[in-house]
Amino acid sequence: MQTFSDGKQIWSLRWTVGVCRRVDGLKYFDGQQDKRLNVGIVEEWLPMLFANPVLLSDLVFAAATLQHPDRSKDSLDDVLCGPVLEDAREALIEEIINFTQSRSGRADMLRQLKKAVVDQMEQAVAEVVAAMPTESPVSGVEKSE
């Protein structure tokens, strides 16, 4: 069981066959089209957990529901931002990887996929930061004076 804190309370996540049944077929947007979650093909939607906070929230809540029946989806949605979002994503991915442990090496492959996605995101951010001007641009109002 993986956990993360929202600064006020601890959320415990448990990815089980029951959770898989509840979220199988969940609609999400992959940046280009609407899709339905196929829980059996984690490799297809795991990268989306970095790009789609709604999908992340839906899956985190599904994994936390049995441990926290007193908490609402809205209470989770309200705290998922910044470092809490990062911690929730990390906890969910690790819980899913732990669930998929097998002799076939699939969990290792999922860890490599996670690392590749993180590396791509870090590289994209570094490129954007490098392309940013070093001096602050002059606004139109300042130019006219």
Residue 83 has pLDDT above 60, yes or no: yes
Model's pTM, two decimal places? Answer: 0.74
Report how far residue 145's alpha carbon sits from residue 134's, in angstroms, rounded to the nearest whole number: 23
| pLDDT tens digits for range 111-124 | 787 888 877 877 87
* Candidate from 2-11, 32-41, 71-80, 113-122 with smallest mean pLDDT: 113-122
Q: What is the DSSP letter of 134?
A: S
Spell 86-99 as b/e; 16+ CB within 10 A means b: ebbbebbbbbbbeb
- Digit-coded pLDDT (tens) for 119-141: 787 787 778 888 888 776 555 55
Q: Is the dihedral of CA 98, 100, 102, 107 positive or negative?
A: negative
CB-based contact 14:71 (threshold 8 Å): no
- Return the pLDDT at 60: 97
Q: In this predicted model, which residue has the larger pLDDT, 137 or 14?
A: 14
Average pLDDT of the chain to the nearest whole number: 87
Work out the number of other CB atoms within 10 angstroms of the CB of residue 133: 6
- Beta pairing partners, 4: 11
Do 18 and 63 form a contact (C-beta atoms < 8 A)? no
